[in-house]
Structure 1
Amino acid sequence: MKKILAIFILLSTGISQAQSSIPSNYFKNPLDIDLVLAGYFGELRSNHFHSGFDIKTQQRQGINVIAAGDGYISRINISNYGYGKALYIQHPNGYTTVYGHLKKFSPEIEAYIKKLQYAKESYEIEVFPEAKDLALNQGDLIAYSGNTGGSGGPHLHFEIRDGQQRPMNPALFGIDIKDTQAPIINSLYVYPLGEEAQVNGSAQRQRLKLTPLSDGSFKAEEIDACGEIGFGISTFDRQDGAPNQNGIYKIETKLNGDKVFEIKMDKFSFAETRHINQLIDYEYYSSNNSRITKLYRGSNNPLSIYEEVVNNGTLDIKDSLDYMFNISVADFKGNIKMIRIPIKGKQSLVRNPKNIKKTDYFVQANEAFSTENGPIDVYIPKSSLYEDTYLDIEFKGDTIYLNEDNIPIQNYITIGFDVSKYNAEDRDKMFIAKLNKRGRPSYSSTKKKANRFTTGVRNFGTYTLASDKNAPSIYPVNFKDGQWISSNKDISLKISDDLSGINSFRATVNGKWILMEYEYKNNTITHDFSDDVVTETENILKVIVTDNVGNSKTYEATFFRK
């Protein structure tokens, strides 16, 4: 109780004061193994920045995860996706540490959360314990590393957040990662931005040739340019001990020795993270699956990772003047890779103008937009797009081609369908789907109200009405109907749905709800017999799986245990 009281006292003295300077020796490594990274803080991911360190766990699960500091478990979140099984520790200095993709929790925490899961009859759960419930000391065992949620392999996702729940770079707190290698530069691009701007007689993006120099830096080919231009770079960092292409820490640019642009991956907020699509060349990414970091800042860009920006990071190149533009890419340890780009100001005739396809649908970023044709309507709220743009929209029956997915969307746009021509029975099994390039439909969360279906989307593409009249499938994995399974530690089944997707499942034994852990990556649900809820010799298992349009499949079997 003294420890718990101390926590309350420290918290009440003012979190903001505790965070006036970053404590570099407060937190301990969350794993008792050498820290090798699979992912770095601020790394460029799909629609978001990576919010912590992905720490390798020697390609296995079950490594002890320990509390990085004194505190208490302030949040437990178990989800099929995202962080999977995750713990949040509130520390007396106002910071929060996060531990994700866990296999299971320590015995005390596991017992605490399973009691609540059984009370709620749900695998997915989120709770916020009080300080007195699960207090702990630095170094205490809190969990075992795993691969749950949206993990692509066994590892520990570790975060440190400030008092406003903004993720911060763990390296700032002394979480040390060995790194003796300079960042890697893949490619360099130049962008004519102004209406009259051109580079080498072209108004389009160009890739520049890089020549390695003896000091490890690069020199780019000299360019002739005039007007407002900007640059972009494809780069990554590689720490010692692993080949992973991780995110960089800092990029800085200078024109004739004067700094014009800097980004640094120290801290960001979750509210801004989707604006990553303004940092990268989204059009290039959509067609090449490779991210170019733009070294200039567009309008209405709220990202806080910009440290110092002059004239939005763009260069105003004048005719008949010479310039030297330098780019430096650095990791947290200070290893640096440089690029030097000579620029000759030269007004040239534009032989290769920008490709702007004008259509009947022009959307202004600061105004709402709507259109409809036949049974389909589209509404784009104000500020959903970053820039004014023409959209390519085509209506055909129950299908809408809503532009190529090469323009980023910040806020949800709504697509609506009038389904009054369909009878109630057909509508019951219908949903709005996005079609991939092969025409394969995937479920888009569909709201149904009388004769109108709507969906909110954040990606352009082709959307249509689809129908799913087939129930999900259920197959046993490690047992058979009528089998004795006394030696089994668990019971597992495969569940899947080939069209609208799994919405929910429920399992009972002898009429009593049992906890089934869902692993979507291999379509399995598993019950651990250590929960001690299956106590009879003869047991009737019943599993009901329902898809996103309400089709259900029931599986029943009998198994025996001593």
Structure 2
Amino acid sequence: MELRTWLKPLIVVPLLLIVLGLVRTTFAQFEPPVNNSYVTATFMEFRSTGNVPHFHAGVDFSTFLREGIEIRAAADGYLVRLEIDEGGIYGNTIVLQHENGYRTLYAHLQRFAEKTDFIVNMLRSEFGNQRIVVEFLSDDVKFQRGEVVGYSGKTGEATQPHAHFEVRDKDEKYVYDPLRFIDVKRLKPVQMGIVLKSLLISDKEYQYSPGAVYTFNGDYPKISVEAYTELAKNLLGVKEIKLYFSNELVYHIILDEIPLDFYEKPYTVYHEKTTMTSLIYKAFYKLYSDEELPFVKVNRVGEFKRLTYDVKVEISDVFGNSGVFTFTLKRG
């Protein structure tokens, strides 16, 4: 059972609604929520945890496998929601509203900041350990840029302590890649690079080999690529993929924002053979689609009817890494 309540801390006045315009082409800079950290999971990665498969709607920052690490506000803002919850996907969560019109979300917290303890303790003493969502109708509880909002934990679906960080619009209808807002040069430097491990062509898997020749069936090639940013022993999702036939762009996907209506539709991006377990992450990005999707910018794969295709795949990530991979396809 979920208990949802609304609080006007200390005052009883009508809610003042402020309309804040969002300009998607201009993004304010946010601070990383963890000092001297690095990214351990990226935006729109595949997840099969919880009740249904879904996208990873934010970025994870390392807290070095430790609970109790300070999680800090990305910018000046005020509290709009607390989710008091040991279970679920997000666990204990805090959401802030910022003057630029965006909201930031901090999840999997072990506990909240001391300035909100009186609210949390009051609600827990009255309603027990059930899930409680608290919406704040005023801007009384303010946080300054860099101020502690909570402490790292592994509540919710987290298997290890870390900081899950999201950026949303004020109506929470869209979620954005947080690394668009953060100067990634300020993150702890870690050696990384783009890798393409394998291909799915007409649902048949091949190990990728540069310049190799593969066969396909059907009216046009249905290609999926198992690609990552490789960071030490960790595999991160990529940001952008371009597919070329004979140097002509035929498919272009950019994974930098999604409507939250797509949260539980990861198979619009990933092939059904994508696998995620506690030990395995094998993610295949589909480079074809039969429907219009907000993150697909070019979709012309089906226009080409050839016996042979010279294929080039360009893959890049938000950290500035890129890779170019080539092979040939012949109709089987």
Q: Give the TM-score, by structure 1 length.
A: 0.51
- State yes or no: 1:22 paired with 2:26: yes
CA distance in 2, matches of 1:222, 1:186: 15
**Secondary structure of the structure 2 residue equivalent to 1:148:** coil
**Secondary structure of the structure 2 residue equivalent to 1:337:** strand
- State yes or no: 1:182 paired with 2:179: no
Partner of residue 270, structure 2: 280
CA distance in 2, matches of 1:334, 1:342: 27
CA distance in 1, matches of 2:216, 2:152: 54
- State yes or no: 1:316 paired with 2:308: no
Superimposed CA distance per residue, residues 456-497 of structure 1 (whole angstroms, 9 cap, x where no aligned partner): xxxxxxxxxxxxxxxxxxxxxxxxxxxxxxxxxxxxxxxxxx
Superimposed CA distance per residue, residues 128-168 of structure 1 (whole angstroms, 9 cap, x where no aligned partner): 12334312221222211111111010101011112332211
Change (3 A) 1:182 1:163: same
Partner of residue 391, structure 1: none
1:23 is displaced (CA, Å) by 2.5
Partner of residue 262, structure 1: 252
- Contact 1:182–1:330 (Cα < 8 Å) also in 2: no
Q: Which amino acid aligns with 2:20?
A: I
Partner of residue 40, structure 1: 42
- Contact 1:267–1:305 (Cα < 8 Å) also in 2: yes
- Contact 2:252–2:298 (Cα < 8 Å) also in 1: yes
- Contact 2:82–2:133 (Cα < 8 Å) also in 1: yes
CA distance in 2, matches of 1:281, 1:226: 17
CA distance in 2, matches of 1:134, 1:303: 38
- State yes or no: 1:330 paired with 2:316: yes
Partner of residue 467, structure 1: none
Question: Alignment partner for residue 114 of structure 2, among 107, 110, 118?
Answer: 107
Question: Alignment partner for residue 137 of structure 1, among 135, 144, 147?
Answer: 144
Partner of residue 3, structure 2: none
CA distance in 1, matches of 2:320, 2:128: 51
Partner of residue 356, structure 1: none
- Contact 2:67–2:152 (Cα < 8 Å) also in 1: yes
- State yes or no: 1:70 paired with 2:67: no
CA distance in 2, matches of 1:296, 1:277: 12
Question: Alignment partner for residue 297 of structure 1, among 268, 284, 289?
Answer: 289
Alignment of 1:211-250 (within 5 A): 211=209, 218-223=210-215, 227-239=219-231, 242-250=232-240
Q: Which amino acid aligns with 1:273?
A: Y
1:72 is displaced (CA, Å) by 0.8
- Contact 1:146–1:155 (Cα < 8 Å) also in 2: yes
Change (3 A) 1:289 1:181: closer
CA distance in 1, matches of 2:214, 2:127: 66
Superimposed CA distance per residue, residues 19-50 of structure 1 (whole angstroms, 9 cap, x where no aligned partner): 3433343x22212x212122111111121111
Change (3 A) 1:116 1:189: same
CA distance in 2, matches of 1:283, 1:238: 20
Alignment of 1:154-553 (within 5 A): 154-165=161-172, 166-176=174-184, 177=187, 178=189, 181-191=192-202, 205-211=203-209, 218-223=210-215, 227-239=219-231, 242-282=232-272, 285=275, 290-299=282-291, 303-310=293-300, 313-314=301-302, 316-319=304-307, 322-344=308-330
- Contact 1:73–1:90 (Cα < 8 Å) also in 2: yes
Q: Which amino acid aligns with 1:153?
A: Q
CA distance in 1, matches of 2:130, 2:218: 60
Superimposed CA distance per residue, residues 494-526 of structure 1 (whole angstroms, 9 cap, x where no aligned partner): xxxxxxxxxxxxxxxxxxxxxxxxxxxxxxxxx
- State yes or no: 1:88 paired with 2:92: no
Change (3 A) 1:148 1:289: closer
1:226 is displaced (CA, Å) by 7.1
- Contact 1:279–1:294 (Cα < 8 Å) also in 2: yes
- Contact 1:103–1:146 (Cα < 8 Å) also in 2: yes
Q: Which amino acid aligns with 1:139?
A: G
Partner of residue 58, structure 1: 64
Q: Kindly, what percent of the aligned residue pairs are identical?
A: 24
CA distance in 1, matches of 2:116, 2:265: 36
Higher relative contact order (CA 8 A, sep 6+): 2
Larger Rg: 1
Point out where structure 2 has 5 or more consecutive residues left out of the alignment. 1-14
Q: Which amino acid aligns with 1:210?
A: Y
Q: Which amino acid aligns with 2:72?
A: I
Q: Which amino acid aligns with 1:207?
A: E
Q: Which amino acid aligns with 1:15?
A: L
**Secondary structure of the structure 2 residue equivalent to 1:69:** coil
**Secondary structure of the structure 2 residue equivalent to 1:219:** coil
- Contact 2:72–2:145 (Cα < 8 Å) also in 1: yes
CA distance in 2, matches of 1:60, 1:331: 27
1:234 is displaced (CA, Å) by 1.0
- Contact 1:209–1:221 (Cα < 8 Å) also in 2: no
**Secondary structure of the structure 1 residue equivalent to 2:238:** coil
Superimposed CA distance per residue, residues 63-119 of structure 1 (whole angstroms, 9 cap, x where no aligned partner): 111111111110000222211110000111110000011111121211112112223
